[in-house]
């Protein structure tokens, strides 16, 4: 799952990528088990992505993710502010975590952004 601001906007961009089969938006990474729009303390707005790994990859999803949001703003994307709009990668296993860590290093080294990446890595 990827979080980078409003989940509707992220979903619209991600679902158009080659190899993406399905997307679903929701809240994750917070305090309560059944978050809602009105009650989602600590949760991030995120997009769950189902993809065909013969046509795309987790790495390609990360590459696109870092192109469509600003990973250097803490708890904010554009006018949306607060922890629900944080930049985060919710990984499902250690391989995804390691790949995300490497990718964040690459993004930081690229100097594409003037500030350092603040994207968090959180277990799903």
Quickly list H helices, 1-124.
7-14, 58-68, 94-110
> What pLDDT is recorded for position 1?
97
Domains of the chain: 2-123 (3.30.1060.10)
> How far apart, in Å, are the Cα atoms of 105 and each of 31, 94, 96, 111?
29, 17, 14, 10
- Which residue ranges of the chain lie beneath pLDDT 50? none
> What pLDDT is recorded for position 8?
95
Could you report the per-residue pLDDT of 63-92, keeping only the tens digit for each?
999 999 999 999 999 899 999 999 999 999
Residues whose CB is less than 8 angstroms from the CB of residue 34 and which lie 6 or more positions away in sequence, other chains included:
none
CA distance 123 to 89: 8
Q: Measured in Å, how far apart are the chain's first and last C-alpha atoms?
A: 8
Which one is catalytic: 3, 5, 6, 8?
6
Q: What phi, psi does 116 have (nearest 5°)? A: -75, 150
* Active-site residue flag, 42: no
Does pTM surpass 0.85? yes
> What pLDDT is recorded for position 112?
87
**3-class secondary-structure state, position 30:** coil
Closest CA to 65 of 74, 57, 54, 53: 57
What does the DSSP 8-state code read for residue 93?
A: S
CA distance 63 to 31: 29
Tokens 């707005």 map to which residue? 45
């Amino acid at each position: 799952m990827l979080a980078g601001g409003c989940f509707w906007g992220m979903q619209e961009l991600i679902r158009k990528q080659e190899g993406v089969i399905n997307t679903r938006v929701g809240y994750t990474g917070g305090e309560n088990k059944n978050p809602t729009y009105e009650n989602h303390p600590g949760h991030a707005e995120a997009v769950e992505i189902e993809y065909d790994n013969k046509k795309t990859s987790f790495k390609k999803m990360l590459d696109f993710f870092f192109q469509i949001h600003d990973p250097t703003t803490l708890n904010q994307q554009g006018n949306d502010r607060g922890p629900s709009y944080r930049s985060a990668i919710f990984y499902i296993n250690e391989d995804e975590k390691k790949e995300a860590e490497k990718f964040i290093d690459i993004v930081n080294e690229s100097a594409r952004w003037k500030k350092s990446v603040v994207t968090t890595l959180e277990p799903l």
